[in-house]
Structure 1
Amino acid sequence: MEKIGYIRVSSSEQNIERQVQQLSTCQKVFIDKMSGKTKERPELEKMLTYIRKGDLVIVTELDRLGRNNQDLTTIMDQIKQKGATLEVLNLPQLNGIQDENLRLLLNNLILELYKYQAESERKRIIERQQQGIQLAKVAGKYKGRKPKYTEKSENLQHAFYLLQQGCSEAEAARKAGMSRSTFRRYREKYFLT
């Protein structure tokens, strides 16, 4: 049996030291520095591939694995299918309960409650963010995200040139280093057909 830790913070600026310290007994630790709103995270996928039967996957909090109930259920099922066990450090430990079926039932119940809590917290974060944006708009302080390209941007001009030379929209966008949808959005913005 190997102890495998998984750490996630929402951005590269956030500090992982607290989680690293709590998972110091793990033989291997996987670290993602990105949002938990999606389960497509490189280190999470490596960890799920790496684990074997009998391993113990340890996270400091359930929301480190994911922020919505569906993703959490999928990830936890993958851990279980591999024959590994999930331990969440901030959840009650049920090791004192002798009856294995009762321990499993209580553990699953606790995990379901915490999955719901993690998803609810994610929704509250989004709601607070939207409220903040609305207040900033009313106050005239919110300008939105800065556009990636301007009309004079070299990449955009190159894509426009390629389009005029007979390239398809997809090919012009690819050669200019942008997605087709981004290129289309800028074409419409600058009325280029």
Structure 2
Amino acid sequence: MTKIGYARVSTRDQNLARQLEQLKSAGVTKIFQEKISGKDADRPQLQKMLNYLRDDDEVIVVSLDRLGRNSKDLTDIIEKIRRRGATLNVLNLPSFAGIKDPNLRNLITNIIVELYKYIAQEERETIRERQRQGIEIAK
């Protein structure tokens, strides 16, 4: 089993150092990193990471929003990770490492990930609506 990290920031001006440090602290031995918007469907390092995965590998990210920008995108990426036989560990989500049964651990992790995906999507839509309202008021 290899611990594989993925780190992403949205612009060239942003710094990956914080994410890289957290991934290294989590025991990651292989890191894929890029400076590219999550809106960009063609993220070369993400694709390389997905192709690199093997059975029993663990993909580690600092937060879900580093993988994708919306629920559909996240669902697609998480499904690709699962199809490769790997698991996903999101550092800012609750950890269930103490649960010995891997099936139960994966089930609980999946439920939490789905909940966070929903919350993130709702938050993004709320932000968009507030922006739209602000623009209307400014006009």
TM-score range, shorter chain: 0.7 to 0.9
Q: 1:56 aligns with which of 58, 72, 91?
A: 58
Summarize deviations over 1:51-79 as a string: whole Å, max 9, x none. 12221110000111012111111101111
Alignment of 1:129-168 (within 5 A): 129-136=131-138, 138=139
- Displacement of 1:47 in angstroms is 0.9
Q: 2:128 aligns with which of 123, 126, 129?
A: 126
Task: Show the counterpart of 2:17.
Answer: 17
Q: Which has the larger radius of gyration?
A: 1
| Shift in CA distance, 125/90, structure 1 to aligned 2, threshold 3 Å | same
Secondary structure of 1:121's aligned partner: helix
Q: Please say if 1:100 is aligned against 2:102.
A: yes
Query: Greater CA deviation, 77-86 or 121-130?
Result: 121-130
5+ residue gaps, structure 2 = none
Query: Greater CA deviation, 38-47 or 57-66?
Result: 38-47
Q: State the identity as a percent.
A: 57
Q: Which amino acid aligns with 2:55?
A: K
Report the RMSD for the aligned CA atoms in angstroms: 1.8
Q: Please say if 1:30 is aligned against 2:28.
A: no
Q: Which amino acid aligns with 2:22?
A: Q
Contact 1:39-1:66 within 8 A present in 2 as well: no
User: Using the alignment, how far apart are the partners of 1:76 and 1:95 within structure 2?
Assistant: 19
Summarize deviations over 1:139-192 as a string: whole Å, max 9, x none. xxxxxxxxxxxxxxxxxxxxxxxxxxxxxxxxxxxxxxxxxxxxxxxxxxxxxx
User: Using the alignment, how far apart are the partners of 2:67 and 2:15 within structure 1?
Assistant: 17
Large movers: runs of 4+ above 4 Å: none
- Displacement of 1:22 in angstroms is 0.2
| Higher normalized contact order (CA 8 Å, seq sep 6+, divided by chain length) | 2
- Displacement of 1:12 in angstroms is 1.2
User: Using the alignment, how far apart are the partners of 2:113 and 2:55 within structure 1?
Assistant: 21
| Shift in CA distance, 46/101, structure 1 to aligned 2, threshold 3 Å | closer
Q: Which protein has the bigger strand share?
A: 2
Q: Which amino acid aligns with 2:15?
A: N
- Displacement of 1:38 in angstroms is 4.4
User: Using the alignment, how far apart are the partners of 2:88 and 2:28 within structure 1?
Assistant: 13
User: Using the alignment, how far apart are the partners of 1:93 and 1:39 within structure 2?
Assistant: 29
- Displacement of 1:100 in angstroms is 3.5
Q: 1:114 aligns with which of 110, 116, 129?
A: 116
5+ residue gaps, structure 1 = 139-193
So what's the TM-score if we normalise by structure 2?
0.86
User: Using the alignment, how far apart are the partners of 1:90 and 1:83 within structure 2?
Assistant: 22
